[in-house]
Chain A
Amino acid sequence: MLFGLIPKKQRRRIMSKGFKSILVLDLNQSLRSKGFWIYSILFGGFVAFMFVSGITETQIIGFVGLGRLMVTFMQVCMVIIPIYVLITVVRSIVGDKESNVMEYMLSLPVSLSNFYWGKFIAKFIVIYIPLFVSLFAAVIWGTITSLDIPWDMFALYSFLLAAMVFCFLGIGMFISVYARSQEMAVSSAFVLWLLLVAFIDLLLMGMMLKFRMNPSLVIGLGMLNPLQVFRVGVLVLFDPKLTVMGPAAYFVLDTVSRGVFIVFSVVYPALLGFLFGWLGNRRFNRKDII
């Protein structure tokens, strides 16, 4: 059978079958790894622990009930998710190269883009679903125990988490395609994460004071940092003058409206993730695979 003689429409279907096959394969691979179950139990367990510890009955600076639980959950996510996603994902492509998985898998009729995006989406599902389920479980438990459900927060946080996971997934895949070894990939991920954490407030404020930088420039830099965007996005539904937000966040929310920032906090990290994902795929298609 000459593949070239198959009508374009059918060819596209066959190509997307390769994508689905890799997606399912990678999902199955992930579901068999202990890391996935530890991660899922960690986040599910954390929500359960917060209910048991009575966090919904406490109040700190305006956060109360399920809203308080969700904000705490998101703060934990902000600390853990970016580095977890990076460390997990940066080893993906380069790890497959080192372990001969790539040599074999790419001897099969799957296009390089289907292989790359199949893995990408599988990792997104595996990382995002446990987070969403934990958040949704909190809503269900809140409904059962007659707590007020902050649906606006639930919706925003669901999208924010998806955008954040997508963002760091794209960056992680990009690093993984470029890295020559798993050690190099993990080291790069750590350095990047440290830089992003440092640039949330500490370095930005230091630069502003030391170099007398224009606050607009500092805000611009702050807005480029997906961690900063995530952090402000988590708290944006509350009073923007809250001191817990930090100085850079204060400037950001003082400059742009809340509505604009909500859209920005979801769209920007997602676009950033897609851009890095696309660049990674481009490189993957143009260089030696193994």
Chain B
Amino acid sequence: MTEIKKNTPVIRAIKLSKSFGKVEVLKQLSVDFNEGDRIALVGQNGAGKTTLIRCILGQYIFDGQLKVLDKDPRQQRVDILKEVGFVPQIPPPLKITVKELLRFFSDLSNVPEEEYVDIAEKLGLQIKDSYNKPFVALSGGMKQKLLVAFALGKKPTVLLMDEPSANLDPAAREIFFDYLGKYNKEALLVLSSHRMTEIEGLVNRVVEMDFGQIVLDKILYPVENMNV
């Protein structure tokens, strides 16, 4: 795991802007996300949450400054992504089997397949029953559990989750939240969601976006006081 320099934010954005044609989706956004922060990134559709996440993942070229783990997300993409776990809002329609996907992740991350299987099973996914099924053929909830297992299994320093519980049934959601609550307290967790009520028990800070800007940044309680 990357050592984070003391007093250096895990993610630092200074006057970060991103436009698509004439539409400015992120407007001179400045924010720090720190070690151990558990952030609810909330806002309506089009607020810029996904664009911010994609900038952090090095998927967009942007104006202004953005550092993740003190590195440039575009120039040092691979270095950063080794430390990042990501769960997308919409699972990718991959035709390969669950077994092949497990092998792919294990090869890329140097994490044994069993660790992913273990987490998936804790989340209520009987993964071995689905080994030979194409990933795309799994139900929405099963896909989400598997992606969450992949994100958590590599024990990342930064966890980015875009509506991670959208497809989970209540029981799976409870297990998932319980798991997240116990996750490495030093890691930065960013949960993007439309519904604050759903994730409020998990977070200590709320960052609300609207029209590409941060309109609210509120620390609910210090990280050390969190009791999930």
C-alpha gap A15/B97 in the complex (Å): 24
Cβ-defined contact, B77 with A29, below 8 A: no
Interface size class of B (residues with CB under 8 A): 20 to 34
Highest count of chain B CB atoms <10 Å: which of A1, A3, A101: A3
B91 cross-chain contacts in A, Cβ below 8 A: 100, 104
How many chain A residues sit at the interface, stated as a range, is 20 to 34
Contact of B59 among A2, A28, A106 (CB under 8 A): A106
Closest-by-CB residue of B relative to A3 is B79
Q: Which of B33-76 contact A (CB under 8 A)?
A: 54, 57-61
Say whether A62 faces chain B, with CB atoms less than 8 Å apart: no
**Contact indicator A104/B108 (Cβ below 8 Å):** no
Contact of A103 with B by CB under 8 A: yes
Complex Cα distance, B105 from A286, in Å, reads 26
- B141 interfacial by beta-carbon distance below 8 Å: no
How many cross-chain pairs have Cβ atoms below 8 Å apart between A and B? 90
Binds A, one of B9-17, B82-90, B189-197: B82-90
In the complex, whether A105 has a CB less than 8 A from a CB of chain B is yes
A21 CB, min distance to chain B CBs, angstroms: 5
- Min C-beta distance of B36 to chain A, whole Å: 20
**Given known contacts A32-B134, A289-B59, is B92 in contact with A105 (CB within 8 Å)?**
yes
14 contacts between A and B (CB under 8 A): A3-B78, A21-B104, A100-B92, A100-B93, A103-B54, A107-B81, A107-B84, A109-B79, A110-B108, A111-B77, A112-B77, A289-B58, A289-B59, A289-B60
Residues of B within 8 A of A (CB): 1-3, 54, 57-61, 77-79, 81-82, 84, 86, 88, 90-97, 100, 104-105, 107-109, 134, 147, 160
